[in-house]
Amino acid sequence: MAERAAGVTGRHRIGFLHVAAVILLAGGPGHSGRPEGGGSRPDLGRAVAQARADRRAVDQARLARRIQAALDSVQARDGFPGATAAYVLPDGTTGEFATGLADLETRTPMRPDARMLGASTGKTYVAATALALAKEGRLSLGDPVARWLGREEWYPRVPNAAAITLRQLLTHSSGVPDHVYDPRYPVERERQRRANLDWFATPRYVIEFILDKPAHFSPGTGFHYTDTGYHLAGLVVEAACGCRYDDEAVRRFLVPLGLDRTSPSDHRELPGLVPGYLDESNHFGLPTKTMADGKLVWNPRSEWTGGGMVTNSRDLARWAKALYEGKALPVPYLADLLGGAVADTAGHRSYGLAVSIAMTELGPKLGHGGWIPGYRTDMAYYPDWGFSLAIQMNSDRQAVRNKIGPYALLLAGLVKAELAGDR
């Protein structure tokens, strides 16, 4: 679901964010126009090299104490149920943490290996799958979506149907509206849920809510975050590969990278999932606890390529480091992932292929956030320092909903201080 960038300093201009991050990671200016099959391994910059050279100086025990203390402090101060966090240092060393409670009613402590719904962080797998298919020549990011979906009887009714490309869907620059914020959607979804807890919204079902609506803008001329656009992208991916998207993401990324705490959230009973907590007056009219009798009270399969993964902070940190260091595919791809990023002036960031590019006090931040009823997630990679960090929280209550970005930046600052030798 929709997620805005957090922890961004307003004095930085979007143009600088885009140029700095793309040049740093893609190896130099001019790479955004490189063909999808070309390129070379990225130069991660002097700062990353220096951070890696200094990794022997990291005091793992001290860093772990500081992270745990900070996590415990914000949980005690702000009163959210619980959270997990993890980092991966430049040398691959991983730290995992937990605070608070996994279940308020049973008083079960949160564990570092707890799983939560990752929400829109799952879009990063969709974009990576599309990139993999592009590198294999099975589709092009510049393909008109009509090439793949034009034979569907409903497709001509999609706003901007004749002009939008796959890249524009992945960068939220297609102008396509978002079904999530159509006032009919939560009402209809709750009606269906009450009749059958296993019911889920198919891609065709959610796309119906945006048919015949006016586009937000002409393709490629603006930014509008839309889960519906990612459902359309998922259909393109499946048409191009002749496969189920979920199976392809598992085969290409989850298994090879050893992300064994991550899996498609395609049914109500998900092993290791902890309950999340909502306000009574939540957008979808759902119960205030996401689980009952060991199952979710709605079917998360509705999210599909709008997110669609149940995951864990450790796996998110590992995925972020692999993805943004160019190690998720066997061929170079960072120029495509970051190049041509679209300015989201409202969020003080740029947005590439399912990657938010923002400037923070730690330098560029590459990553993605996620919100789904009951859960908040933030994953990020800091290229100036060569580390990644992720945090998940089992609450989306209004009092803490927008604090996960600052929490993540607080913890990232502790990692950076250790890497920099700021004792």
Amino acid 257 reads: L
Residues 6+ positions from 262 with CB-CB distance below 8 Å = 118, 254, 309, 310, 311, 312, 315, 316, 319
Quote the pLDDT of residue 312: 98
Q: What is the CA radius of gyration of the chain?
A: 20
**β-pairing verdict for 291-292 and 375-382:** unpaired
User: What is the tens place of the pLDDT at every residue in 314-335?
Assistant: 999 999 999 999 999 999 999 9
Q: Of 395, 421, 193, 372, nearest to 274 (Cα)?
A: 395
For the chain, how many structural domains are there in total? 1
Mean per-residue pLDDT, 90-115: 98
CATH number for the domain spanning 226: value is: 3.40.710.10
Residues 6+ apart with CB under 8 A from 112: 84, 86, 96, 97, 98, 313, 314
Reported as half-sphere exposure (CB side, CA atoms, 13 A), residue 98 has a value of: 18
Residues 6+ apart with CB under 8 A from 417: none
Average pLDDT in the chain: 89
Does 196 map to a domain? yes
- Per-residue confidence (pLDDT) for residue 30, from 0 to 100: 30
Q: Identify the pLDDT of residue 8.
A: 32
Residue 302 pLDDT > 50, yes or no?
yes
Whether 8 is in a domain gets the answer: no
334 located within any domain? yes
**5 falls within a domain:** no
Does 154 fall in a domain?
A: yes
Residue 31: predicted pLDDT: 32
Please report, as a single letter, which amino acid is at residue 219.
P
339 contacts 34 by C-beta, under 8 angstroms: yes
pLDDT band with cut points at 50, 70 and 90 for residue 250: very high
- Residue 98 belongs to a domain: yes
Range of the domain at 236: 14-420
pLDDT digits (tens, 9 = 90+) for 169-210: 999 999 999 999 999 999 999 999 999 999 999 999 999 999
Residue 33 lies in a domain: yes
Question: Quick check: 28 pLDDT over 50?
Answer: no
Please report whether residue 2 resides in a domain.
no
Residues 6+ apart with CB under 8 A from 195: none
pLDDT, tens only, 140-170: 999 999 999 999 999 999 999 999 999 999 9
**Which whole number is the average pLDDT over 262-288?**
95
CA quadruple 102, 106, 107, 109: dihedral sign: negative
Q: Give the start-end residues of each E strand in 265-328.
A: 291-292, 295-296, 309-311
pLDDT at 46 over 90: no
